[in-house]
Structure 1
Amino acid sequence: MKIILVCSAGMSTSMLVQKMEKSAESKGLSAEIEAVPESQLSNHLDGTNVILIGPQVRYLAPKIKANAEPLGIKVDIINQMDYGMMNGEKVLEHALELAK
């Protein structure tokens, strides 16, 4: 499973990626999780299952959905509270739910 978090610069989102990776590891899941700025997203779509958008760039959702959903990639916005609290487990669960 490949999950991409989209952000503007990637600082806080990369911390969230680490927490999600720890959560995946504890569940015995094999997941490739990375944070990329929206400007580079098109270079990372191959093999991606889920794209989660940081709440601070939620305005990008329609554009990202238009590009990713035709490729079968699920797209959603990260819950503001889970993002703010860096709740990697909750964000990972959200991605897994979308991927079903």
Structure 2
Amino acid sequence: MAEKTIMLACNAGMSTSLLVSKMQKAAADAGEDVKIFATSADQVDQKMSEEHPDVLMIGPQVRYLFKGLEAKLDIPVAIIDMKDYGMMNGKNVLTTALKLIK
């Protein structure tokens, strides 16, 4: 079982899937033991109870959900930096997520 779990959420969970693979590569390169997965915004509640992530990173396109998620969840919630999201910079997003967990 991974030491840390990172959940990404966007409209349909599709655009974050590529980002997940880039983050997984960055984690492997850094020797980090993390589980990273993506889901759609409407599946966040279900995935929270199934996966028990340590942090939730949401795509810029669903930033409107931030305040509501932050208020109801007891884990760090952050909006993925738009530039990192657009460039699919898995290393930067991973670094941000890990800083939020610690």
Structure 1 counterpart of 2:37, from 34, 37, 60: 34
Aligned to 2:56: 51
User: What is the TM-score normalised by the length of structure 1?
Assistant: 0.92
**How many residues end up aligned between the 2 structures?**
97
Q: Which amino acid aligns with 2:40?
A: P
Residue equivalent to 1:21: 24
TM-score by length of 2: 0.91
Cα RMSD, aligned residues only: 0.9
Per-residue CA deviations over 1:56-75 (Å, capped at 9, x if unaligned) read 1100001111221xx3x100
Q: Which of 62, 86, 89 is the aligned partner of 2:88?
A: 86
Alpha-carbon distance, 1:11 to partner: 1.6
1:35 is paired with a residue whose SS is strand
Identity of aligned residues (%): 47
Note the C-alpha offset of 1:34.
0.7
Q: Unaligned stretches of 5+ in structure 1?
A: none
Any runs of at least 4 consecutive aligned residues in structure 1 with deviations exceeding 6 A, and if so which? none
- Residues in 2 aligned to 1:38 and 1:62: alpha-carbon distance in whole angstroms: 14
CA distance in 1, matches of 2:72, 2:42: 13
Partner in structure 1 of residue 98 of structure 2: 96
Provide the rounded CA distance (Å) in 2 between the counterparts of 1:43 and 1:20: 23
Q: 1:27-73 CA deviation, whole Å, 9 max, x = no partner?
A: 111111111111111112243111001001100001111221xx3x1
Residue type of the alignment partner of 1:27: A
